[in-house]
């Protein structure tokens, strides 16, 4: 199993989705499912892109930076 960090482009805005899957194909399916659950109306996903893929093990994770959270 792998931990995926996937970036979705929806209406020109970027959204990050984290999923666990055993293949890239399933990761994209799971990411789309998570987006459908998150938004009230089914979003039109313009693009999905795998940013990172890590084999699952204790302690693995991601740091997600946002523009508003950056420090100088």
Residue 66: inside a domain: no
pLDDT at 47: 94
Residue 60: inside a domain: no
- Give residues with Cβ within 8 angstroms of 1, minimum separation 6: 20, 21, 22, 55, 56
Residue 27: inside a domain: yes
Domain total for the chain? Answer: 1
pLDDT at 68: 64
Arithmetic mean of pLDDT over the chain: 88
Residue 64: inside a domain: no
**What predicted TM-score, i.e. pTM, was given to this entire model?**
0.81
pLDDT at 63: 80
- The range of the structural domain enclosing residue 8 comes to 2-55
> CB 53: neighbour CB atoms within 10 A?
13
Residue 61: inside a domain: no
pLDDT at 20: 95
The band of 71, judged by pLDDT with boundaries at 50, 70 and 90, is low
Residue 68: inside a domain: no
């Amino acid at each position: 199993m792998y931990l995926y960090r996937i970036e979705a482009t929806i209406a020109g805005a970027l959204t990050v989705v984290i999923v666990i899957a055993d293949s890239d194909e399933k990761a994209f399916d799971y990411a789309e499912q998570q987006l459908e659950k998150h938004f009230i109306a089914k979003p039109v996903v313009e693009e999905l892109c795998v940013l990172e893929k890590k084999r699952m093990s204790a302690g693995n994770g991601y740091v997600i930076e946002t523009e508003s959270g950056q420090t100088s």
